[in-house]
Structure 1
């Protein structure tokens, strides 16, 4: 038994049996009907029998599903920065996190279509408690982040995950995707949690922190949706925080978020691959000798990359102007775009509630605010 068995995705020799175990699940039928609307059930059930690796499953089914999601719920996906990457090199992609399933699914579609190494991707085990979702996640090369453990077990789990990520990058030559923070960004402020970097550093062995991070080939990823399909679903947690109340998730809340993210309107989407962290790590090694301060500095480097390359769609400028009651950015959007956004706001929250209105608008405006701060600090 491998020490990674509790968290790992399926080995290829396990794939066919695992897929067979969920082939007739009603949720699989719904997924396949969505992906191949004109195909009879018996056709894809028969095709499943020929799937013997994760690569087979991703090429023959997952890629088609993601393309359908884009076709039905977006105005298209654009990218930048990927031409700087080597197609035969595994990278550690550290990404801002807006959507449970789509962030990594869209990145992997870009990698697949560009001929790059696709990722093993971290997903919270709280999101895949249902058997169908657990199996589907592991069939799609997701490994599990164990949530809600007691402190001692959490440390052991973090060590295991750190070693697993190292194993993927070093030995399996497999790229890895992790979010810059635990859980999605709810308020539009993309920031890297030092705890994520601390976890990664646990497998450094004899290498210094910065030398080890150089070997991981860290690439910050900025993903930006014109409309956040789960914007209204993020509001209860933001309002609870505003009232200084504990927020308790509803029973099927995560699943509702997954479905809304997949099916909800996103309009345009952009993914940018930043530069590999390299000279910045050398500079941090020379100027900072305290490990915690080094982690803080690395987090800031990742944040600067993600924020400065975040695509600012018209919705960000509209939200800023509405929030601050100004016409500062009217050149960045049309009157029609503004009216569409206002209609969305009115349909998704109670616009007469000033607190809800403020938090909804800030969710969209904060990427612009943060980008302005980054640009000012560079001057």
Structure 2
């Protein structure tokens, strides 16, 4: 028994058995028929049953699924900054989080194409309640983050997650992906939660915290979608927040959001890898004397790097101008792009609801506002 059994992905020795259990599942059939429409079921099934490692499953199946998703639901993926990373080196990628599955899938696709180590990635247990999804997540090297626990249990699992991340990077030489905050950003404001960094710090052990954070090789990652495929699905929660109400998810809401994120139209996508934070970490620990202030300052550095490298699209500028009822950024988009955005908004939104319209526009406008604010603070 491993101390990480309650959260870890499959070992390679478990992969073939897990694949045999789900090979005939309707969702596996649907996924494979989408990915390999030219192949008969017996062909992909035969290859699946000969697969004995997570890497082989990712390369021979999931990679092709991601390429198919990009082909049918986007105008393409561009990347920057990956040349900074070294082969056979484990990193801790801390990223903004917009889509449940695609954020990590696209990052791993890019890492694979650059000959770099793919990640083990954090995923909330609320997203893998269906047995098939839990198996698939473990087959794609996800580790579980438990939600909605008692305070005592939350502390225990927080330490376990922290120790797993340390073990993955230091012992397994495996890169790790975690989001900068719990859950996806729904309002377009990508802000790092200090609690995420506090969780990371729990496994420092005998190492001074500064040395431990540097040894983790933290890399900020920014991912941006021209169209958020789940923008309309985020509206009920944003409206509840605007009314200062507690939002209660509907049954199967997470699953519907997951599928919409994968198949919904995204237009252009960009992933950017930021600079290493070693110098910033040393500077923070030199200036700040308490752990609380050190982690808060590190959260601020991550915010700055993630926002700086976030790719802004015409949709972001259009939304800001519509929100302000101005044309201040009209040089950033065409009339056709503005018409397309307005059509998208009117198709899914009650335009006679000013609160809904404001929240929808803010979702796209906030990345511009946030970036402009960060640029002012840097001057």
With normalisation by structure 1, the TM-score equals 0.99
1:186 is paired with a residue of what secondary structure?
A: coil
1:9 is paired with a residue of what secondary structure?
A: coil
Q: Residue 239 of structure 1 aligns with which residue?
A: 239
Q: Write the distance in 2 (CA, Å) between the matches of 1:239 and 1:39.
A: 45
1:348 equivalent in alignment to 2:348: yes
1:100 equivalent in alignment to 2:128: no
Q: Residue 257 of structure 2 aligns with which residue?
A: 257
With normalisation by structure 2, the TM-score equals 0.99
Q: Residue 123 of structure 2 aligns with which residue?
A: 123
| More deviation, 82-91/9-18 | 82-91
Deviations 1:112-144 (A, max 9, x none): 111000000000011001110000000000000
2:120 is paired with a residue of what secondary structure?
A: strand
Q: Write the distance in 2 (CA, Å) between the matches of 1:25 and 1:49.
A: 13
Superposed counterparts of 1:129-278, under 5 Å: 129-278=129-278
1:212 is paired with a residue of what secondary structure?
A: helix
Deviation at 1:46, TM superposition (A): 0.7
Runs of 4+ aligned structure 1 residues displaced above 2 Å come to: none
1:295 is paired with a residue of what secondary structure?
A: helix
Q: Write the distance in 1 (CA, Å) between the matches of 2:38 and 2:250.
A: 35
2:251 is paired with a residue of what secondary structure?
A: coil
Q: How many residues align?
A: 379
RMSD of aligned alpha carbons: 0.6
Q: Residue 367 of structure 1 aligns with which residue?
A: 367
Deviation at 1:208, TM superposition (A): 2.2
Deviation at 1:39, TM superposition (A): 1.2
Q: Write the distance in 1 (CA, Å) between the matches of 2:172 and 2:349.
A: 47
Q: Write the distance in 2 (CA, Å) between the matches of 1:228 and 1:207.
A: 41
Q: Write the distance in 2 (CA, Å) between the matches of 1:209 and 1:170.
A: 15
Q: Write the distance in 2 (CA, Å) between the matches of 1:47 and 1:241.
A: 48
Q: Residue 293 of structure 2 aligns with which residue?
A: 293
Deviation at 1:351, TM superposition (A): 1.2
Q: Residue 325 of structure 1 aligns with which residue?
A: 325
Deviation at 1:244, TM superposition (A): 0.9
2:24 is paired with a residue of what secondary structure?
A: coil
Deviations 1:34-73 (A, max 9, x none): 1111211111111112100001100100000000000000
1:116 is paired with a residue of what secondary structure?
A: coil
Deviation at 1:255, TM superposition (A): 0.4
Deviation at 1:321, TM superposition (A): 0.2
Q: Residue 10 of structure 1 aligns with which residue?
A: 10
Superposed counterparts of 1:79-94, under 5 Å: 79-94=79-94
1:299 is paired with a residue of what secondary structure?
A: helix
Deviations 1:197-219 (A, max 9, x none): 00000000122222210000000
Unaligned 5+ segments in structure 2 are none
Q: Residue 73 of structure 1 aligns with which residue?
A: 73
2:210 is paired with a residue of what secondary structure?
A: helix
Q: Write the distance in 1 (CA, Å) between the matches of 2:276 and 2:123.
A: 23
Superposed counterparts of 1:18-97, under 5 Å: 18-97=18-97
2:276 is paired with a residue of what secondary structure?
A: coil
Deviations 1:71-120 (A, max 9, x none): 00000000001111111211000000000000000000000111000000
Q: Write the distance in 2 (CA, Å) between the matches of 1:78 and 1:250.
A: 35
Deviation at 1:148, TM superposition (A): 1.0
Q: Write the distance in 2 (CA, Å) between the matches of 1:194 and 1:263.
A: 32
| More deviation, 42-51/100-109 | 42-51
